[in-house]
Amino acid sequence: MTTALFSHPDCLQHVNPPGHPEQVARIKAIEAALANPIFDGLDRRAAPLGAEDAIRRAHPKAQIDAIREVIPDTGWARIDPDTTASPGSWNAALRAVGGVCAAVDAVLAGEVANAFVATRPPGHHAERANAMGFCLFSNIAIAALHALETHGLNRVAVLDFDVHHGNGTQDVLWNESRVHFASSHQMPLFPGTGAAHEKGAYLQIRNVPLRAGTGREAMQAAWEGEILPWVKEWTPELVLISAGFDAHRADPLAGLHWTTEDFGWITHRICDLADDCCGGKVVSTLEGGYDLEALADSVGLHVEVLMERGA
Ligand SMILES: [Zn+2]
């Protein structure tokens, strides 16, 4: 078995204004890193366009229509101070949804051991009725609901190690008892949610805020001490990762001090969880990460670990 890599050139056509940190160059840096021969064993697949039916599980029709209608013919349409749409944003957003849903399909079908989805725009800030924080649709929550509704799963875990809280994922899944959502994130920081007392309608959400300036020790305590045992006890049938790499010490948008090696460690620990609970079934999708060199190195190590664990 191997690791699948889902991507699509359409994801280069979602273009933010000059100087915006969520830039096309992020995908190019990742592609360059994954061109190394050590990644020749990846099962490289094109991310399909996501189905509107799948998106409807997370977002009301009016919100989907609003995104479609805001896409400009030229230039940019501003959705909020951080979030813009360009002419290519609609197809890019559908590839980001479709890639992670197809990755779920491939892993659950046993075609591959695990998968990484290198798409953009990211998704974990997109709430049910509110695109924000560089995100248009809630990619990972859509994938979790896709796994429940089309594959008949009953327990899906969504783990988010992006430095920002996945407020959108939390919003979409707040009333969903069949998904456990756990996140570590810097706090206080955008978007302002993610306090430990935010636990979901079924106590199925676990938020572990981390203080600015902390690094490996606090990260490992959060994951080994709190998140991973809590998820393991629930024995998920599939593990999804909101893989943001902006907790890296080099990242310009935040103040945690994780190293590239820390992303290898956390990937191993999540694979341990998946090995214990569900035959190693892991689907990881790109969220943040804005220092191009740190992003490329960290994604490279993340995928290298997925390949090692999926072999
Ligand atoms: Zn982030």
What rounded mean pLDDT belongs to the chain? 98
Residue 230 has pLDDT above 90, yes or no: yes
Cis ω on the peptide bond leading into residue 188 (within 30° of 0)? yes
34, containing H or E segment: helix 24-34
According to the model, what pLDDT value does residue 182 have? 99
Q: Which residue has the tokens 């740190």?
A: 294
Rg (CA), the chain: 17
- What's the DSSP call for residue 63? H
pLDDT of 155-181, one tens digit each? 999 999 999 999 999 999 999 999 999
Candidate list 125, 165, 180, 302, residue with the active-site label: 125
Distance in Å, CA 287 to ligand 1 centroid: 6
- SS3 label, residue 61: helix
Render 240-301 in DSSP notation, one character per residue. EEEE--TTBTT-TT----B-HHHHHHHHHHHHHHHHHHHTT-EEEEE----SHHHHHHHHHH
Distance in Å, CA 109 to ligand 1 centroid: 30
Q: What tokens appear for 185 in the block?
A: 């994130």
Q: How many residues does the chain have?
A: 311
Integer angstrom CA distances of residue 259 from 31, 217, 247, 263 = 21, 12, 8, 7
261/276 Cα distance (integer angstroms): 23
Residue 311 has pLDDT above 90, yes or no: yes
> pLDDT tier at 201 (50, 70, 90 boundaries)?
very high
Strands (E) across 15-82 are located at 43-46, 77-80
According to the model, what pLDDT value does residue 1 have? 87
Q: Dihedral of the CA atoms 142, 154, 159, 29 (nearest 10)?
A: -50
> pLDDT tier at 154 (50, 70, 90 boundaries)?
very high
pLDDT of 83-139, one tens digit each? 999 999 999 999 999 999 999 999 999 999 999 999 999 999 999 999 999 999 999
pTM check: above 0.75? yes
Q: Dihedral of the CA atoms 302, 303, 309, 311 (nearest 10)?
A: -170
Q: Dihedral of the CA atoms 194, 197, 201, 205 (nearest 10)?
A: 50
Distance in Å, CA 189 to ligand 1 centroid: 10
> Mean pLDDT over residues 216-235, rounded?
98
206, containing H or E segment: strand 205-210
Does 125 participate in catalysis according to the annotation?
Answer: yes
pLDDT of 31-64, one tens digit each? 999 999 999 999 999 999 999 999 999 999 999 9
Q: Which residue has the tokens 């030229």?
A: 74
Distance in Å, CA 246 to ligand 1 centroid: 6
231/206 Cα distance (integer angstroms): 9
- What's the DSSP call for residue 224? I
